[in-house]
Homo-oligomer: A and B are copies of this chain.
């Protein structure tokens, strides 16, 4: 199959598509832990929105002459490994994972999207990276829980740190294995100082999210 899209853009669409598919599964699974029907409703609605994003990426790849499954395949290992190594123990950990984990991923993808030359692909990527409501929902629920029982804050702060650690391990694995994708970010367009600034931006945003949850980094 031939496509007018370059390998890096196909990689980015592929990792995003599989990311949305697993986000969908995870949110829907976490909905089972929801303490009330209304929480379940909220989480299931977010999951359905992630599936809609997945479907749009899938169809875009297909319309561009790319086999979506082949595009997703290289990222199944790293993304499954991330989720397998970070199963939430309860409802709150699930919410934090949805907010903090997806937030970190989204920030990163948005930085990479700047370098995508193809206009329709870039527009679609920025569009599916839009928040589906996790942020405000997670902040409200976690704040409520830590106010009711300040002791849980320590455990949840540790959990946030662990999520970042596991995400970095898998991101590094992808960086080593997917030359085109790494090249997009590092090659030409960004020097070492630029990468340093990128990491600072990602860390700052992560700290801001943990602070919004009332948790230490």
In the complex, per-residue mask of A71-83: 1 if CB is within 8 Å of any chain B CB, else 0: 0110010000000
Q: Which of B21, B28, B52 contacts A25 (CB under 8 A)?
A: B28
- Say whether A29 contacts B25, CB under 8 Å: yes
Stretch at the interface among A41-49, A116-124, A180-188: A41-49
Stretch at the interface among A30-38, A149-157, A196-204: A30-38
Kindly state whether residue A60 has any CB partner on chain B within 8 Å.
no
Residue of B with least CB distance to A36: B69
- Say whether B29 contacts A69, CB under 8 Å: no
Q: How far is the CA of A52 from the CA of B76 in the complex (A)?
A: 27
> A18: which B residues are within 8 A, CB to CB?
37
| A123-165 with Cβ < 8 A to chain B | none
Q: Which of B32, B37, B48, B73 contacts A48 (CB under 8 A)?
A: B48
Kindly state whether residue A99 has any CB partner on chain B within 8 Å.
no
